[in-house]
Structure 1
Amino acid sequence: MSYEMIALMMFSSMMLLLLTGQRVFGVIGFVGAASALLLWGDGGVEMPFNASFVLMNWYPLLTLPLFVFMGYMLSESGIAGDLYEMFHVWMGSLRGGLAVGTIGLMVVVSAMNGLSVAGMAIGASIALPELLRRGYDKIMVTGVIQAGSSLGILVPPSVVLVLYGMIARQPVGKLWLAGAIPGLILAAMFVIYIVVRCRLQPSLGPALPPEERDMSLGARLKLLRAGILPLLIFFSMTGLFLMGVTSLVESAAYGAFAATLAALFKGRLTRAVIEVTVRRTLGISCMFMWIILAALSFGAVFDGLGAVRAIENVFLDRMGLGPWEILLMMQLSYILMGMFLDDTAMLVIVAPLYVPLVVSLGFDPVWYGVLYTITVQIAYMTPPFGYNLFLMRAMAPPEVSLGDIYRSVWPFVLIMLLGLGLITVFPQLALWLPELYYGY
């Protein structure tokens, strides 16, 4: 049997087992370990064993629980709620202003946490009930929250970009800077859409009544201070890293420590907050580590087979595709896999295959990392099986049906496709900032 056929059988069997509903790390690890034993006998057992040691020696992986801890500490201590109150008052006079404020909240939460799930949880629990109570259209605001949460893996400090940097062997600082401008561009496009649509259809997003938004300048400035603390933590954390004062892990530790101090300063560092934060941090971190461990084992077998070279030969020699056609096929594969995999699982499965191919085709791997993050978020929001759709259904109130959720995402999916096209055609939108800072 040829190596190409073995690689195809491994990949197809993995996809088939994933359709059974088994846990992602269990399927990936089982296919990798079983294939190693079948191909190389008893010696093949060393591959998953060595993969575990690679993971345990992966020092930058310490950033994962630290960033997650920082985000959950800030959200569980109620600082995210304070932020929404600030946006509520300052943006309430605008038609659709609370929806615009929700996008602003999502950007800040993304900067605090780096995970789309955290943004979704905060938006669904804090913003959605308030928006519905204020008479906002349930279909539009459901889409707003899903679109805003998609910024979590693009705006620094994106945990997914940290993992991409580890797997693709690219500097995390460059990836963070590369994701900053595209993330802000998408946020601005979402805001423009909301403002224009609410101006054309005022019933979708009514402004707050004067008695609720009229307050003294002092009271407004007091609310504005609610946003200073988390932004100060974020800018100081990333600034220390980009200036070379701290390493990536040290910056993550600083962020976690600063978030704890912020909760203490606010008088909200209770035992319940600490317990919930630690439990959720442990759950998310363990999930990531198991998936990475399984993917390292699977990837080691793939590399041993020369699967990357085989895929390159199939695309370039047998199918005669050009570089841009291959890139398009790779992005379409993310859309398909996004129906039943999350962003991390997709990353650890295909990044070891796609990144070397991207480099061999002459594309910048940092730029491709930004394309990856946007594409998987589109896949998350695309019916019928988008991951975010069912997550939103689990968190939304009963009056929001699955059909409402399906209808809510299409305008934002189209906006994200437009943004993806802009960054594909104009790579400097992603590469200008890292080139300016690092001079490469």
Structure 2
Amino acid sequence: MSYELIALLMFSGMMLMMLTGQRVFGAIGFVGSMAGLTLGWPGGSEIPFTSIMKLMQWYSLVSLPMFIFMGYVLAESKIADDLYKMFHVWMGGTSGGLAIGTILLMVLISAMNGLSVAGMAIGATIALPELLKRNYDKIMVTGVIQAGSSLGILVPPSVVLVLYALIARAPVGQLWLAGIIPGLMMATMFIIYIYVRCRIQPHLGPTLSDEERGQYTRADKIRLLRAGLLPIAIFMIMMVPFVMGLTSLVEASAVGALAAFFAAVFKGRMTREVFEVSVRQTLAITCMFLWIIAAALAFGAIFDGLGAVKAIEALFTEKLGLSPWMILIVMQLSFLIMGTFLDDTAMLVIVAPLYVPLVGALGFDLVWYGVLYTITTQIAYMTPPFGYNLFLMRAMAPPEISLRDIYQSIIPFALVMVLALALVMIFPQLALWLPGYVYGN
């Protein structure tokens, strides 16, 4: 059987399984295992088992539940609420100030959790009702929350970048540092757009009235500032020793989890319910990620071992005659298409066995490509007609916000994200300068 036919059968079989509604890890693992058993490759039947053993030997995976637990503790204990109250008081007098504060809130939530879904949930439950109550335009604020949540897989400690690092065998510390400047750049671009738009159309983001601002004394503002700075302090306690090389990735994640736990205890918010929900959610999400990674490893090993990766590389470079940059753009466009029916993690584990070896063979930096992947998949994740984030937003939004409003709200922010993606592609040092500076290469 030719390499091209093997690639076609495995990829189409996997997509067919996806369309039947099977779980991601089940579809990927089943197709990979069946290919290894039926296509006559010696030792192929052992690949699924050895991939599980390989997964269990990755010490860095211990960091995954730590980061997830940290995020859920901070969210369930309502420490994230303090952040929004701080932004509400300090920025309410600026045009679109609360929307800008929401973007800043999302940046900090991303730095605490690393999951875009968590940012979406917190933004929809905390920020959205407050913004609507203060007469912000519903289309504007819906787009703000969706755009802000997109920073969750780019700003460290991004869980998706950890998964990418494990699958691509790229250094997670460099990937985290590579995501900082593009993530902050994208947040800044969101803020500039909101401010300019609200200055031109003040009714979209009205300022707080003098009476409402007068309710808070200087002492109140200082108290809220202290409360809001606590999550930032937790992030710094976790990240600074890691960046300085004083702690490993696993040690940094443990420091973050313990800091979040003791902060909740210190604030008197670590109840039995908060602890139980945080542990249950951490266990559920960690197990889901482990199953997905195991299935992806098995699929990727068989896919590569049967020569399918070489067939795809030959298709792009020899038969189609595409240049490396054209191939890269085609790969990014494929993410946008897959994002209409898959989430970011599923896209990663499906295409990583295909694209990561090809990216390396074309001479591109895998750390830089990891940043491109996160931005592109998040654009796909939140663009009509079937963006996953759109339906999450609809599920959490109040009845007065329709699906049409949600579709309309995301268009300008998606365009800003496309511009950010183009800048990172044109100027790779936006992603590579910081890890090169810190690690000295």
CA distance in 2, matches of 1:344, 1:63: 17
Report the secondary structure of 1:40's partner residue.
coil
Matched residue, 2:4: 4
What pairs up with 1:114-133 in 2 under 5 angstroms?
Answer: 114-133=114-133
Report the secondary structure of 1:400's partner residue.
coil
Residues 227-265 of structure 1: CA deviation (Å, up to 9, x unaligned): 221111111211111112111011101100110000001
Matched residue, 1:289: 290
CA distance in 1, matches of 2:338, 2:302: 21
CA distance in 2, matches of 1:393, 1:288: 25
Matched residue, 1:374: 375
What pairs up with 1:164-243 in 2 under 5 angstroms?
Answer: 164-214=164-214, 215-243=216-244
TM-score, scaled relative to structure 2: 0.98
Matched residue, 2:314: 313
Matched residue, 1:301: 302
CA distance in 2, matches of 1:327, 1:145: 30
2:107 paired with 1:107? yes
CA distance in 2, matches of 1:40, 1:68: 41
CA distance in 1, matches of 2:57, 2:372: 29
2:261 paired with 1:265? no
Q: Which amino acid in 2 is paired with 1:437?
A: V
Q: 2:106–2:119: 8 Å Cα contact kept in structure 1?
A: yes
Residues 144-193 of structure 1: CA deviation (Å, up to 9, x unaligned): 00000000000011111111111111111111111000000000000011
Q: 2:28–2:295: 8 Å Cα contact kept in structure 1?
A: yes
What pairs up with 1:120-159 in 2 under 5 angstroms?
Answer: 120-159=120-159
CA distance in 2, matches of 1:370, 1:275: 34
Q: Which amino acid in 2 is paired with 1:364?
A: D
* Aligned-residue CA RMSD (Å): 1.1
CA distance in 1, matches of 2:403, 2:315: 40
Residues 195-233 of structure 1: CA deviation (Å, up to 9, x unaligned): 111111111111111122223222111110122211111
Matched residue, 2:423: 422
Q: Which amino acid in 2 is paired with 1:172?
A: V
CA distance in 1, matches of 2:290, 2:55: 8
CA distance in 2, matches of 1:364, 1:294: 25
Matched positions, count: 440
2:343 paired with 1:350? no
CA distance in 1, matches of 2:267, 2:219: 20
Q: 2:3–2:310: 8 Å Cα contact kept in structure 1?
A: no
CA distance in 2, matches of 1:396, 1:19: 27
Distance change (3 Å), C-alpha of 1:202 and 1:12: same
What pairs up with 1:405-416 in 2 under 5 angstroms?
Answer: 405-416=406-417
Report the secondary structure of 1:206's partner residue.
coil
CA distance in 2, matches of 1:85, 1:371: 33
CA distance in 2, matches of 1:418, 1:367: 16
Matched residue, 2:86: 86
Percent identical across equivalent pairs? 70
1:44 positional shift: 3.3
CA distance in 1, matches of 2:27, 2:42: 20
CA distance in 2, matches of 1:236, 1:353: 38
Q: Which amino acid in 2 is paired with 1:228?
A: L
TM-score, scaled relative to structure 1: 0.98
Report the secondary structure of 2:40's partner residue.
helix
CA distance in 1, matches of 2:100, 2:141: 10
1:41 positional shift: 7.6
Q: 2:296–2:353: 8 Å Cα contact kept in structure 1?
A: no
Report the secondary structure of 2:207's partner residue.
coil
CA distance in 2, matches of 1:173, 1:50: 26
Report the secondary structure of 1:269's partner residue.
coil
1:42 positional shift: 9.2
Q: 2:185–2:420: 8 Å Cα contact kept in structure 1?
A: yes
User: Post-superposition, which runs of at least 4 consecutive aligned residues in structure 1 deviate over 6 A?
Assistant: none
1:126 positional shift: 0.5
CA distance in 2, matches of 1:352, 1:262: 40
CA distance in 1, matches of 2:213, 2:428: 42
